[in-house]
Structures are given as structure tokens and as C-alpha cells.
Amino acid sequence: MAEILKRNKALAVNPLKASQPVGASLAFLGINKAIPMMHGSQGCTAFGKVYFVRHFREPVPLQTTAMDQVSTVMNADENVLLGLKAVCEKSKPALIGLPTTGLSETQGTDIKRLVKDFYAANPEFAHIPIVPVNTPDFTGCMESGYALAVKATLETLLPQHAPHPNPDETTSQSTKPASGQVAGYLPPAGEGANVKSNVGRRKKQVNVLAGSFLTPGDIEHIKELIEAFGLRPLILPDIGDSLDGHLTEMESSPLTVGGTPVSDISSMGESIATLVLGNSLFEAADFLKEQTGVPDYRFNSLMGLDAVDGFVAALAGISGKPVPEKIERQRAQLQDAMVDSHFMLGFARVAIAGDPDLLYGFARLVTGMGCEVVAAVAPARATILQEVAAEQVAIGDLEDMENAARKNGAQLIIGNSHATESARRLGIPLLRAGFPQYDLIGGYQRLWVGYRGTRQALFDLANMVVEHVHPETEPYISIYSQRTGDAAHFPHPCVDVAALAALQPRPTPCGCNPLPQAGVPKAGNPLSGKPDVELTQGTNAKSHLGEVCRATPATGQTH
């Protein structure tokens, strides 16, 4: 169990955290014909819009209640009511997400009451579901805001099963709004009666609660895996359909294009099973199971051989079909990649910074390959952090990650694009993962999960180690292959140049010069580094390496 280190600073240096309203907006962007409307200032929404556009490189629909200094002090209720009415009239959305921000939360806004007031004043819009969710950005992180929005969506759109103390009481009252549902919008009539008896009505439909750590590429691959077993996935939220980067005939749209249809969400109680991907969504899964009775299968991560094996085994059990040969082939390919890459990744020291679910998944992946997580940082607390494969997990920012990585000699960093400068200062490579990735084309579409995604992640990590971590061995140069004069220019690491210079030969009694005087140098020998010397006629034979001559033709003297 990892030790959780509390934040010990009064400020964030090089922040790692993205706010809860941004996470909630991402969840709403995965619903078809929806639009998030942040209750806060224009700057709050502008930041979120730029954040998403830089990451996905797509136009993103976001609205704001545009609180200013007057409405902040006096009252901003009118901003919400007028904003909702304008969006309903002009855009005609299938769903409106209404996350709060730090400004409106500090003001003390009762966001659910405002939605009730809107429905009371505008009954003609009662068919449009509005999902209010409290997401102050001074607590939590992007992941927690995303999870809160998913749960709020289920509370609003699912037919509510309200238990009654009297078993003889009719079930016709079970469709009334429960504590989490906003009065004004109700699910389609008739679908809520005796909700739990509808389990399995759609024999091929499988619910999938997709965590915020999954990319559009991950969502697409998860669909392929589920469909390979003859099942129909109902994914909430489905950013793999709305934010996958595809061209449409429309030049622009005020609403999301693609995603989970609102009508499908109301039918989640008729599925045969629910797959919950990410520990952060376990609370939403508890609500879904309590209201519908649909059995669920929960997975903290889908990275690594063991994690994917569990997911595939669950699909085989739900469908009653054997694992397709194609998936078995992908598993064998991952095993081969593990064999190929473990030589490079074994004992590598890794630093990881990210939201809790992402941090947990990567830590399990790299430690499973023999790496050591020497720095693990998350922006906010979560129950899954205690299970991270590291001795310590710090609640902090990228400065904390950088300091821990420097102290413990990290060789690799896994984090978002904000960690680029930390990696540069440390002189180690960065594997970009998570939100945002604004300096990498296609990073939002990267596949991380499943056998294929895990395989590619191992290849990328191993290549970084080969390229950056293990320096090339310098060629050995013998001291006997160099001229004495060249030693100062091409010193050997094992040779003391000053001592070698002191050993240079002196002129001999016969008057021989250690270096040739009448030689004409030719092209040098590329292997030894010595220039060949052509001696002129009548010149004593002398070595160009500084060795004294053995005989002098004039006197016959030897020395």
C-alpha cells in the first residue's frame, strides 16, 4: 500500500491539475446533441474551450452564464435562467449540462433549485433534460469532475427505482423523481415502472461507463473488443464518437456531433451487464446498479496483460462465446513485445504525474515490466492512490514531481504536455499521456488500452530507454596508436596527458632529432591515426613516433 503524502505548499508551481468544471464538460461532450454551460464568468468557459481545442484540435461547443462583478455580488440566478432559455430556443439541444465553477460555488448558488425554477417558468422546455452538477474547481481535479457529471447524468436520465417500505404498495409510483433527479424532466413514461424487472430485456446490450483516462482511440478499441463477442456496447460518455476527429458536412455546430444518444441512456436498465472502466466511476456504478439491478464488472485499468485478460474473460463470460482468434493473436503479440522490451525496461526508474486512474494504470504497467516508480504525483486525493505500485504518492504539482525525479534519479517521465519543461531540465525523455497534449499531433487519439495499446506503450517506453538512457560506449583508442604530440588533441580517458608529455624523448648524443626533418607527410592511416612519412634520399632512418634511431650510417654508432 502506497503512502500518501499531503500537499505541503500554499501554492501550485507548474500546476498538474485541471479543474472539475473542465472534467464535467468533457463528460457532457460525450453525449449526442448536448452542450455544457458553465455557471461562472466568461473566463472560466474560455479557459475550458481553449483547453479542449488545443488538445482535440476540433471546435468544441461550450456556453457560459457570463457572471460579472455585479451579478457575483448581487445575484446570478437570472443569468442561469436567461442562459438556459436562450440555449433551448436557439440550439434545441438533446441535453444541457450545467456544471458550477469556483465563482458560483463561492457565491453559494443552489444550482438544482435554479433548474427547478427554470422548468416552472418555462414548461415548454420540460422535454429537454438539464443536468446540474456541483463542481467547484478549488477541490478535486478533472477526473473527479468527470465522475460527478456521469453520476448526475444517470440520476437525471434513468427511470428512478424508489423503494417502498410497504411491499403491497403499487409500483406505479416508482417513476417519481428521487432525491438525485430534478423535478421538471422525467424519463419516458412507462419505462420506469418496475425498473429492475427490465434487466436483460436487450440481450446483446452491454453498458460501459468509460473513465476520463480513456482517449477516443481507446473507446473505439473497446467497442471493437465488445463487438467481437457479438455484443452491442452502450458507452457513457462516448467521446470516441464525438471527439474522434472526423470531418462532417456541417461547417459548424452549436451542439456536439456524435456521442451517446440520450434515449439510449434511459435504456441502460435493460442491458445484460455493465462494464465499469476506472475506479473514479465506481460511485456512479453503485447508483446505476442500485437503480436498475444490472450486474456489473469493475476494472481499475485496461493496461497490462493481467488487466486485459480480466476484461476479455468478462466479455467471454457475458456472451457465452469463446475468445475470438483475432484477440488471442493480439495477446500473443503483446507477450512477444514483453519479451523484447523487458531487457530495456528492467530496473528503469520512472516518474509519473497524472490523475489518479491514469497514474494507477501506468504504475501497474511499468512495474509489471520490472521498472521502479521513483516519483508518483497526483493532483487530488482518491481511494485508488493507495493501490498505486509505488512506495509514496504525493498530492501536488509538477514541481513536486520534478524534485522527486531529480532526487531519485528518474530516467523516464510519463505525464501530459505541461511536463515538457521538467523533462528538458532533467535531461530525460517524456512519454506524453493524459490531458492536455497540445504539442503532439494525434495524441488525443492514441491507443493505450487492450493488448494492442499495451504493446505499443511498451515499444515506446523501450525505445526511449534505448535512445536516451543508455549512452553509447566510446571507441577504445590505444595510447600506443597516437603520436605524442596528438595526445593533447585526442586524449585517451585513461591517459594523463601531462605525464605523457614529460616522457617525450630528448635528442640523442649522435644529434638525431626524434622527429623527422626531411619527411614529406602523406595521407594518414585511418586505423592508427599516424601519417605515413616518405624519407628523402640520404636522410637517416628515424621514427616519426619519437623513438631514437638504432644506427647512424655516418659513424655506425648505436645507442
The rounded distance, in Å, linking the Cα atoms of 429 and 470 is 12
pLDDT tens-digit readout, 233-261 = 999 999 999 998 888 777 778 999 999 99
Q: Answer yes or no: is pLDDT of 406 > 90.
A: yes
Among 293, 260, 278, 3, which residue's Cα sits nearest to residue 157?
A: 260
Q: Answer yes or no: is pLDDT of 551 > 50.
A: no
Helix axes 356-368, 142-157, angle to 10 degrees: 120
Q: What's the mean pLDDT in 19-31?
A: 97
- pLDDT at position 178: 52
Q: Answer yes or no: is pLDDT of 108 > 70.
A: yes
Residue with the larger pLDDT of the pair 206 and 518: 206
What class has domain 15-158+197-299? alpha beta
Q: What pTM, to 2 d.p., does this model score? A: 0.81
pLDDT bracket for residue 194 (50, 70, 90): low
- pLDDT at position 372: 97
Q: What's the mean pLDDT in 95-99?
A: 98
> Domain locations in the chain?
15-158+197-299, 339-469
Looking at the chain, the whole-number percentage of residues with pLDDT higher than 70 is: 79
Q: Answer yes or no: is pLDDT of 295 > 80.
A: yes
pLDDT bracket for residue 51 (50, 70, 90): very high
Q: Answer yes or no: is pLDDT of 184 > 80.
A: no
Sign of CA dihedral 317, 320, 322, 326: negative
- pLDDT at position 477: 80
The rounded distance, in Å, linking the Cα atoms of 500 and 488 is 9
Q: Answer yes or no: is pLDDT of 553 > 60.
A: no
pLDDT bracket for residue 296 (50, 70, 90): very high
Q: Answer yes or no: is pLDDT of 106 > 80.
A: yes
The rounded distance, in Å, linking the Cα atoms of 410 and 376 is 11
Cα 12-303-350 angle, rounded to 5 deg: 50
pLDDT bracket for residue 159 (50, 70, 90): confident
* Correct CATH for 339-469 of 3.40.50.1980, 3.30.2310.20, 3.40.50.11310, 3.40.50.1950: 3.40.50.1980
- pLDDT at position 483: 58
Give the cell for residue 536.
628523402
Same topology for domains 15-158+197-299 and 339-469, yes or no? yes
Least confident among 232-241, 321-330, 446-455, 533-542: 533-542
